[in-house]
Structure 1
């Protein structure tokens, strides 16, 4: 099934409005790129490359800002892998990740996948908002 940009534009526009973001041309274009391919994990750099290929004239800084705005309103989930490497996940459901170190790639841990026992009591006045588990993988022969 091929997707025509125009057929999914209203969905993206509605999605942005529903999240309280003004659907500017750049936000709509980046949301199209992000959400038209099903669930995936993407870095700002990779999304910027996709935007250039798709003739969407945006700077890397704009891509970063947009990804962070989408994350703040709950459209994306941030997956921090290393200090400098952050991926953005279009699947905002509660789930955990494998990080394939050799490929610099993030994939979902299937199913329930991880059980967490004995979480610490948060300090007074705090609550646990989310627990992210990133399991780092390396090829055996590497």
Structure 2
């Protein structure tokens, strides 16, 4: 891993108030080291980590992704009950889910209009709205 990727990873972890352990730094560098936002599953990040020569268990990848989300560094996007993606872009934006490739990509934010939401039940507040538009080739 190059120095700029490690620097970006270290800065990113600091933004979330997370201690830069070896495993966190390795995964953070893979996620944000090139400055490009990405959508990953735990499995795809695990494979990327193995390709880079870093030995991290799948359980550690899951736990680390959850820690990144809890720190506000990533958002988890649940596509269906059994498939979660983790997004390094944390502003509100919609997604396309490509059913034929199981890929999640950003959808144009400026083309989405939400005219209203139902009232939240008493004693609660809406924390986030996820919009996932499922696509299949015609």
TM-score range (shorter-chain normalised) is over 0.9
Counterpart position of 1:26: 23
Gaps of 5+ in 2: none
Deviation of 1:56 (Å)? 0.6
Number of equivalent positions:
137
Q: 1:41 is matched with which residue?
A: 39
Which blocks of at least 5 consecutive residues in structure 1 are unaligned?
A: none
- Give me the CA root mean square deviation: 1.2
Which residue number corresponds to residue 12 of structure 2? 15
Q: Deviations over 1:82-133 (max 9, x none)?
A: 1111111110011010100001001111132221123111111111111001
Out of 13-22 and 41-50, give the one that drifted further. 13-22
Contact 1:98 1:137 in 2 (8 A): yes
Give the whole-Å Cα distance in 1 for the aligned partners of 2:120 and 2:109.
Answer: 27
Question: What is the aligned partner in structure 1 of residue 90 from structure 2?
Answer: 92
The TM-score normalised by the length of structure 2 is 0.93
| 1:71 matched residue in structure 2 | 69
The alpha-carbon deviation at position 15 of structure 1 amounts to: 2.2
Q: What whole-Å deviation, never above 9, does each CA across 1:8-62 have from its counterpart, x for those lacking one?
A: 3233223212312110000000000011240111110000000001011000000
Equivalent-residue separation in structure 1 for 2:72 and 2:110 (angstroms) = 21
